[in-house]
């Protein structure tokens, strides 16, 4: 099983600042099958990024993903008020998918 | 517009079987373009992938749950279902169903149901 470790656990930032979230895998993720989701309280997760760097339909371009192998990053270039939420990464590169434990982006 | 809706009992007794159904509208569960999956989230916790099913009925499961999980598809009702046997309090969670787009560059879980809370208690 591939273990995904997200860091930091919590990120305290102000609107307009840049957010950089990390997702590290215990072994290489096949074909960069790595996705990022945003979740707000009481809601289902929303797909932001798939294939490590491709934005999902309707996702603003302030969200970007990068990385390959075992190290992946989600960057929010300028935080908007609606971006304060929990973010999860998901690897789907083999037949045993796994999620990271999440990073909470909170208002400083 | 694709919509997924989970349904099933909100309370299950320990050692019994949890059964949930996901009804899909705006898309067909029998399409070769998609896979369908279940994910759960304990209160205040993170996400855990449970398993996926292809339109053909082929499945793959989380190894930690595999011995207790069955996912099936009912094309006549455009639904897919989850059964989790021998439940304990650790299975208390919000259960989500979701869709994956298959293909050369698969798109995982682009549409989700709103989730349903299942509590395990006597």
Q: Is the pLDDT of residue B12 over 90?
A: yes
| In contact, B33 and B104? CB cutoff 8 Å | no
The pair of three-digit structure tokens given for residue B104, joined into one six-digit string: 């050369």
Q: What residues in B contact A57, CB-CB < 8 Å?
A: 110
- pLDDT confidence bin for B9, thresholds 50/70/90: very high
Average pLDDT over every residue of B96-109: 94
Name the residue among B48, B63, B105 with its Cβ closest to that of A51: B105
Q: What is the pLDDT of residues B63-73, one digit of tens each?
A: 999 999 999 99
Q: What pLDDT, on the 0 to 100 scale, is given for residue A31?
A: 83
Name the residue among B47, B48, B60 with its Cβ closest to that of A45: B47
Residue of B nearest to A35 (CA): B108
Write out residues 40-79 of B within 8 Å (CB-CB) of A.
46-49, 52, 60, 62-64
Q: What's the half-sphere exposure (Cβ side, CA atoms, 13 Å) at B54?
A: 10
Residues 6+ apart with CB under 8 A from A6: A21, A22, A23, A24, A87, A88, A89, A100, A101, A102, A103
Phi, psi dihedrals of residue B19, rounded to the nearest 5°: -130, 125
Q: Which residue has the tokens 């099983």?
A: A1
Q: What residues in B contact A37, CB-CB < 8 Å?
A: 47, 109
Write out residues 58-87 of A within 8 Å (CB-CB) of B.
none
| In contact, A11 and B79? CB cutoff 8 Å | no
Q: What pLDDT, on the 0 to 100 scale, is given for residue A77?
A: 97
Q: What is the pLDDT of residues A11-60, one digit of tens each?
A: 999 999 999 999 999 999 988 899 999 999 999 999 999 999 999 999 99
Q: What pLDDT, on the 0 to 100 scale, is given for residue B33?
A: 92
Question: Distance between CA atoms of A27 and A60, rounded to whole angstroms?
Answer: 30
Q: What residues in B contact A96, CB-CB < 8 Å?
A: 60, 62-63
Q: Please indicate whether, in this complex, the C-beta atoms of A95 and B60 are within 8 angstroms of each other.
A: yes
Q: What is the mean pLDDT of chain B?
A: 96
Name the residue among A44, A51, A57 with its Cβ closest to that of B112: A44
Q: What pLDDT, on the 0 to 100 scale, is given for residue A94?
A: 87
């Amino acid at each position: 099983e591939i273990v995904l470790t997200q860091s930091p656990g919590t990120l305290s930032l102000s609107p307009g600042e840049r957010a950089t979230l990390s997702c590290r895998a215990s072994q290489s993720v096949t074909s960069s099958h790595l996705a990022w989701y945003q979740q707000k309280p009481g809601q289902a997760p929303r797909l932001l990024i798939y294939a490590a760097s491709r934005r999902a339909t309707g996702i603003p371009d302030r969200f970007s993903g990068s990385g390959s192998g075992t190290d992946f990053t989600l960057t929010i270039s300028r935080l908007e008020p609606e971006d304060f939420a929990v973010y999860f990464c998901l690897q789907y590169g083999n037949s045993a998918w796994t999620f990271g434990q999440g990073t909470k982006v909170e208002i400083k | 517009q694709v919509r997924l809706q989970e349904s099933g009992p909100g309370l299950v007794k320990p050692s019994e079987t949890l059964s949930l159904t996901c009804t899909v509208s705006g898309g067909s569960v029998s399409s070769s373009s998609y896979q369908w999956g279940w994910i759960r989230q304990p209160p205040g916790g993170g996400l855990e992938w449970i398993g996926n099913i292809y339109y053909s009925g082929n499945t793959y499961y989380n190894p930690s749950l595999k011995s207790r999980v069955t996912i099936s598809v009912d094309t006549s009702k455009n639904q897919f279902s989850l059964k989790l046997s021998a439940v304990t309090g650790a299975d208390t969670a919000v259960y989500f169903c979701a869709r994956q787009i298959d293909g050369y560059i698969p798109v995982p879980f682009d549409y989700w149901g709103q989730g349903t809370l299942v509590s395990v208690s006597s």
